[in-house]
Amino acid sequence: MELAFHFSRWLHIVAGFLALLVFWIPIVTKKGGKTHNRIGWIYVYAMTIVSISALYMGIFRIFLDPASDQDRISFSWFLIFISILSGASAWYGIRVLRFKRRQEKHRNVWDLMFPILLLLSGAGISIYGFTIAFPLLQYFPLLGVFLGVTHLLYWLKAPRLKMHWVMEHIAGMLTCCIATITAFTVFGAPKLLQIQSVSTILWFIPTIVIVPLLIGFSNYYKKKYNPPKNRATLER
């Protein structure tokens, strides 16, 4: 088991650094272009490995490692949440493109399962964070609650905006970027800099920076594809 854990950790590190190296390229390149698509898939594959390995390591530390103390267990719950957040967000970002032509409510079990898991894990881990007074677990998982509800509403309602999948794809992939950078800030950066811990506010900087970027992109494409006259006509 210990050998499998170390293998997962190195796999996690390699895939995580690859994701960090390439995540910005799809953001700045032409949407739907060759570079955007190719690098985007590399990022998705890397984050899939990151998500699965993080989930395994978190479960191992909490339930199978007799040497785990309270701090290690707390950070392992964060690792589990990050794995769910990154996996659910990447899945959402891909699946909205897969069903971009839908005109009705969407009831695919897998597409509803991930938002529900994100919602429940966010709520549960946040409650756990308050019981142990750990700010990272108190507030960061609330992002999962918000996103879980948002994703569910998107799937359970018929689309009302033109090119709705563009906004949702961007939202899903940028949320995945939040998970990538936050995980590096919490785990990778302190080890690289050989410091014991970083200020709590630094853990939330990726969210603080990327959420306005996400909102900006969404508003830009919403206005581009749904100018006021067209939107009014579409919603009648």
pLDDT tens sequence across 118-170:
999 999 999 999 999 999 899 999 999 999 999 999 999 999 999 999 999 99
What integer pLDDT is reported at residue 202 of this predicted model? 80
Ranges under pLDDT 70 in the chain:
189-198, 230-236
Residues 43 and 22: beta-carbon distance below 8 Å: yes
Q: What is the rounded CA–CA span in Å between residue 99 and residue 172?
A: 14
- Name the residue among 64, 63, 48 with its Cα closest to residue 12: 48
From residue 100, how far is each of 26, 45, 158, 230 by CA, in Å?
19, 21, 11, 19
Residues 103 and 162: beta-carbon distance below 8 Å: no
**Per-position DSSP letters for 72-95, written without gaps between them:** HHHHHHHHHHHHHHHHHHHHHHHH
For 28, what's the count of Cα atoms within 13 Å in the CB-facing half-sphere? 4
Gyration radius (Cα) of the chain, Å? 18
Q: What is the rounded CA–CA span in Å between residue 179 and residue 53?
A: 14
Residues 84 and 90: beta-carbon distance below 8 Å: no
What integer pLDDT is reported at residue 49 of this predicted model? 96
pTM: predicted TM-score of the whole model, two decimal places:
0.89
